[in-house]
């Protein structure tokens, strides 16, 4: 009821009412990356085990490209073995002489945030965690992330490595990112590899079932519907906690055709104290606000023609123009009641048109000639994780336009010549009688 009071209200006022208790926070549309709320979203803060989303991304990419196989076996290095025995950290115990496949290490990382299992994956892919950290920073750059620094694969403070941290990093270093960068990483992860949610949404799983090393892994994301702070539609993504980072959480939930991503860093309760539950409470605020105040609306229908730009002139064609329209509809997450406050904008492909804004025949039906995006009528800037004009749909030719034969083109040229001559004579004669 509280959130419904703000439906259709000024978004800035509604966002202020959220009052998220965290050092950094952001709420975005999971399908387009449209930013719906932010607080200190560009402040560089600790991320703890939210780091593992990058390790997951690189692993899933390696599997997709055939560089790593799920049934590939691994024997722990001395470092991985030692860290796996530290029960003060989130871990599944690994034997020094044991053999573990990539799938079970991945499950331990994604479900139970197992740190040694994560380092094991880094070694499998990079040959060493030092090399893998370089890959992490390079991948972040390629994904367009800003405000980040990775010093290890797991999100631990480097002091937990007891002097064996990745080369080139400090003994007390820890991974940092802005909330915007974390959200962008999560956005790429769930859109490039949607199957990650099948693992991230697993509430419980047994590691090494049927052996004496058996351990019950309960997902640290207690907002999964089956767990303590269950939330409808919640199916990811990653928690994180260290003394430096505080209590952090990247959440994602989908229902009613909508999906949202949230990030909170160093979440606190109403008294200003950090706590395990605080990150889920602050996430719930943003999710409730999003599901209550935003709807997915059809802003532009299929085969829509922009007013005053329903055709494009054509040269060297049997016809002098071609009808154009959108290939499909534009559906967008908008604040309740705001769907009529957006206007379509046509952007033609500069490579397809000449300096006079004309297409050259032949043109095939369905050929892309540009795109339509939407802009707020009031000029308000809409922010996206991945840049501007992210809400767009192809504009295509609605019909074929064949190239005119040489005779037709010649006769047009002759006609244009005499037309120009007649126009010149008429202008001269008109001048005599002024």
Residue 49 annotated among the catalytic residues of the structure: yes
Catalytic annotation, pick one of 52, 184, 268, 285: 52
Look up residue 373 and give its two tokens. Answer: 């995006």
What whole-number distance in Å separates Cα of residue 323 and Cα of residue 242? 59
Catalytic annotation, pick one of 34, 39, 84, 113: 113
Residue located via tokens 């599944």? 92
Report whether the peptide linkage leading into residue 84 is cis, meaning its omega lies within 30 degrees of zero: no
Structure letter (DSSP) for residue 353: B
The H-or-E segment that residue 326 falls in is strand 321-326
**Chain mean position to CA 233:** 18
Q: Dihedrals φ, ψ of 32, to 5°?
A: -115, -15
Choose among 359, 41, 347, 16: nearest CA to 184: 41
Q: Which residues of 205-216 are buried (b: 16+ CB within 10 A; e: fewer)?
A: bebbeeeeeebe
Q: Phi-psi bin for 357: left (phi > 0), alpha (psi -120 to 50), beta? A: left
SS3 assignment, position 237? strand
Q: Dihedrals φ, ψ of 114, to 5°?
A: -70, 120
Maximum alpha-carbon separation in the chain: 110
Q: Dihedrals φ, ψ of 226, to 5°?
A: -85, -10
- Cα→Cα distances 120→94, 169, 203, 377, Å: 10, 19, 23, 52
- Cα→Cα distances 184→21, 158, 194, Å: 21, 25, 15
Choose among 101, 100, 117: nearest CA to 109: 117
Residue located via tokens 């802005």? 178
Positions marked active-site: 49, 52, 113
């Amino acid at each position: 009821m509280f959130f419904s009071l703000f439906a259709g209200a000024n978004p800035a006022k509604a966002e202020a009412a959220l009052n998220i208790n965290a050092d950094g926070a952001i709420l975005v549309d999971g399908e387009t990356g449209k930013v719906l709320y932010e607080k200190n979203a560009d402040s560089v803060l600790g991320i703890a085990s939210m780091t593992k989303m990058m390790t997951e991304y690189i692993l899933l990419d390696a599997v997709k490209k055939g560089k790593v196989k799920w049934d590939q076996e691994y024997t722990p290095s001395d470092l991985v073995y030692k860290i796996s025995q530290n029960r003060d950290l989130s871990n599944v115990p690994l034997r020094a002489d044991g053999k573990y496949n990539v799938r079970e290490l991945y499950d331990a990382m994604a479900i139970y945030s197992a740190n040694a299992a994560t380092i094991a994956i880094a070694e499998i892919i990079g040959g060493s965690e030092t090399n893998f950290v370089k890959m992490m920073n390079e991948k972040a750059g390629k994904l367009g992330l800003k405000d980040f620094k990775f010093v290890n694969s797991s999100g631990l403070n480097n002091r937990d490595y007891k002097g064996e941290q990745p080369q080139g990093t400090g003994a007390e270093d820890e991974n940092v990112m802005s909330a915007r960068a974390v959200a962008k990483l999560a956005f790429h992860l769930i859109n490039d590899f949607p199957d990650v949610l099948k693992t991230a949404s697993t509430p419980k799983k047994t590691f090494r079932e049927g052996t004496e090393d058996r351990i019950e892994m309960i997902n640290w994301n207690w907002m999964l519907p089956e767990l303590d702070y269950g939330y409808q539609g919640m199916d990811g993504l990653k928690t994180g906690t260290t003394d430096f980072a505080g209590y952090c959480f990247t959440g994602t939930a989908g229902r009613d055709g909508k999906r949202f991503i949230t990030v909170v860093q160093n979440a606190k309760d109403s008294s200003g104290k950090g706590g395990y539950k605080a990150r889920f409470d602050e996430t719930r605020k943003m999710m409730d606000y999003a599901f209550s105040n935003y709807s997915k609306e059809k802003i532009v229908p299929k085969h829509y023609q922009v007013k005053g730009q329903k055709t494009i002139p054509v040269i060297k064609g049997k016809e002098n123009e071609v009808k154009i329209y959108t290939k499909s509809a534009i559906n967008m997450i908008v604040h309740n009641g705001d769907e009529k406050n957006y206007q379509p904008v046509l952007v033609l492909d500069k490579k397809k048109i000449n300096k006079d804004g004309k297409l050259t025949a032949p043109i095939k039906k369905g050929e892309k000639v540009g795109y339509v995006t939407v802009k707020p009528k009031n000029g308000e800037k809409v922010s996206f994780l991945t840049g501007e004009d992210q809400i767009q749909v192809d504009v295509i030719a609605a019909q074929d336009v064949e190239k005119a034969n040489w005779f037709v083109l010649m006769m047009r040229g002759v006609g244009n010549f005499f037309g120009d001559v007649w126009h010149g004579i008429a202008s001269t004669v008109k001048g005599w009688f002024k």
